[in-house]
Amino acid sequence: MTTRRELILSMATLWLARVASAVEALRLPVRLKRLDELSRALSRHEIAQVDWQDGVESLARGIDLVELCKAADFERVAARLPLLTKGTNAEAIQLLPGQRFTPKIFAMGRGRAIIPHGHVNMVSHHLVLQGALHGRHWERLGDSDEALILRPTIDRTFKPGDSSSISDQRDNVHWFVATSERAYTLDCIVDNLDPSRGYRFHIDFIDPDRARAQPDGTVRAPRLGLDEALRRYG
Ligand SMILES: [Fe+2]
């Protein structure tokens, strides 16, 4: 017969095993492996783009930035990325051998920006490694030759450890402006989601300052060419 002491011991062992597995799940290598699995599942169309977004955003919550920066060789990469007078500088890195996602470190000085743009045929997740940014997202509700129809979804300050994501299905358009002396983000990208499109991804630049509010609460943001977008917003 199981004694009371044995029962308490086995319950304690079970509890400890659960705690250990929860802690294990939070370790960086486990998070990166899970990110890779999500990215493979997305590429194979086994999960929806919003599932990838939810999964990656939850993996980013509480991530150990010191450990992540070490894994990304952040100091050395940042030293190779002089801050540009317009827009961002960026370098693709490797976080896992054979990774299905593309990690990229973006660097920008105060007032410089990841200029306002929407995406087609890709997902990405952006995590602030250092500095602060004013980040905005919009839902993309429709397109015309001249403009994108948008609904604002996110407008807040992003600090180290904060993240957001885009896809064809949610928060498709974004814009980040560095509000600290320098700011660095780690983006993880999966593109070519629908290979039948014939292009890996497409970017549409917009002009939010000249967007017109519509009676239904949406905004109509005119399209911009890259050079003009960089000149106005970079
Ligand atoms: Fe983007």
Examine residue 141 and state whether it is found in any structural domain, yes or no. yes
CA distance 154 to 162: 13
| Residue 8 pLDDT level (bands cut at 50, 70, 90) | low
* Residue 97 Cα to ligand 1 middle (Å): 24
CA distance 24 to 9: 22
Residue entry with tokens 């492996």: 33
**pLDDT tens digit sequence for 141-200:** 999 999 999 999 999 999 999 999 999 999 999 999 999 999 999 999 999 999 999 999
Residue 38's nearest CA partner among 139, 123, 119, 120 is 123
Examine residue 14 and state whether it is found in any structural domain, yes or no. no
Examine residue 173 and state whether it is found in any structural domain, yes or no. yes
Per-residue pLDDT, 22: 58
* First vs last C-alpha separation in the chain: 73
Please state the φ and ψ torsions of residue 107, each to the nearest 5 degrees: -125, 140
* Residue 110 Cα to ligand 1 middle (Å): 19
* Residue 143 Cα to ligand 1 middle (Å): 17
Examine residue 5 and state whether it is found in any structural domain, yes or no. no
| Residue 45 pLDDT level (bands cut at 50, 70, 90) | very high
Which helix or strand (DSSP H or E) is residue 212 part of?
Answer: strand 212-213
What would the mean pLDDT of 45-70 be, rounded to a whole number? 96
What would the mean pLDDT of 11-32 be, rounded to a whole number? 68
CA distance 1 to 4: 10
Examine residue 6 and state whether it is found in any structural domain, yes or no. no
Examine residue 19 and state whether it is found in any structural domain, yes or no. no
Distances (CA, A) of 138 to 88, 148, 219: 21, 10, 10
Examine residue 12 and state whether it is found in any structural domain, yes or no. no
With left for phi above 0 and alpha for psi between -120 and 50, is residue 47 left, alpha or beta? beta
* Residue 116 Cα to ligand 1 middle (Å): 8
* Residue 166 Cα to ligand 1 middle (Å): 7
Q: Which of 3-7, 20-24, 56-60 has the lowest mean pLDDT?
A: 20-24
For residue 229, the enclosing domain spans 28-233
Report whether pLDDT(101) > 80: yes
Examine residue 13 and state whether it is found in any structural domain, yes or no. no
* Residue 31 Cα to ligand 1 middle (Å): 22
pTM assigned to the model: 0.88
147 contacts: CB under 8 Å, gap ≥ 6: 206, 220, 221, 222, 223
* Count of domains observed in the chain: 1
Residue entry with tokens 């980013």: 60
CA distance 205 to 174: 10
* Residue 73 Cα to ligand 1 middle (Å): 23
Report whether pLDDT(73) > 80: yes
* Residue 174 Cα to ligand 1 middle (Å): 6
Paired strand residues for 147: 222
* Residue 70 Cα to ligand 1 middle (Å): 24
The pLDDT > 70 percentage for the chain reads: 89
* Residue 122 Cα to ligand 1 middle (Å): 9
Per-residue pLDDT, 26: 76
Per-residue pLDDT, 141: 97
Per-residue pLDDT, 53: 98
* Residue 67 Cα to ligand 1 middle (Å): 25
Q: State the CATH number of the domain containing residue 48.
A: 2.60.120.10
* Residue 118 Cα to ligand 1 middle (Å): 6
* Residue 34 Cα to ligand 1 middle (Å): 22
Strand, helix or coil for residue 66: helix
**pLDDT tens digit sequence for 122-134:** 999 999 999 999 9
